[in-house]
């Protein structure tokens, strides 16, 4: 069983930065991919970024490209989302997710962390 715990959310002014962390626990953690998603009030959940655990260039949603950076630390079973130049429209609950090798899509989710960007 994989458990994902996000941290690092908070309140920040527009133009500011936050770094989210997602730590995975479990006996052996070697997913196919990890992703960051977000859900704003009244809106559907959307993908923000994803990265293959084996490496490679991360994928970013157009809305965050050039401002957000996703990275991983295999030794710590942790992924990060560095968010710069934050905008009020980035306000949402951010979720970390794992796509295990037995899954065809992201199927393990964290509890989410709130990010609020004030104008």
Whether 28 shows a pLDDT value over 90: the answer reads no
Please state the φ and ψ torsions of residue 49, each to the nearest 5 degrees: -160, 155
Give the residue among 92, 80, 88 at the shortest CA–CA distance from 44. 92
Q: In Å, how far from its chain's centre is CA 114?
A: 12
Whether 1 shows a pLDDT value over 80: the answer reads no
Mean pLDDT on 13-26: 95
Whether 29 shows a pLDDT value over 80: the answer reads yes
Instruction: Determine the length of the chain.
Output: 119
Whether 30 shows a pLDDT value over 90: the answer reads no
Mean pLDDT on 50-63: 94
Top-confidence residue, 1 or 77: 77
Q: Which residues pair with 18 in a beta bridge?
A: 83
pLDDT digits (tens, 9 = 90+) for 73-112: 999 999 999 999 999 999 999 999 999 888 889 999 999 9
């Amino acid at each position: 069983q994989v458990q994902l715990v996000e941290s690092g959310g908070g309140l920040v002014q527009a133009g500011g930065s936050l770094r989210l962390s997602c730590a995975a626990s479990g006996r052996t953690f070697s997913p196919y991919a990890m992703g960051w998603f977000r859900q704003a009030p009244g809106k559907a959940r959307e993908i923000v970024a994803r990265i293959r655990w084996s490496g490679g260039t991360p994928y970013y949603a157009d809305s965050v490209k050039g401002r957000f950076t996703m990275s991983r630390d295999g030794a710590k079973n942790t992924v990060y989302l560095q968010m710069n130049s934050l905008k009020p429209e980035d306000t949402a609950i951010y979720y970390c997710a794992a796509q295990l090798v037995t899954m065809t899509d992201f199927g393990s989710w964290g509890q989410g962390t709130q990010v609020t960007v004030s104008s």
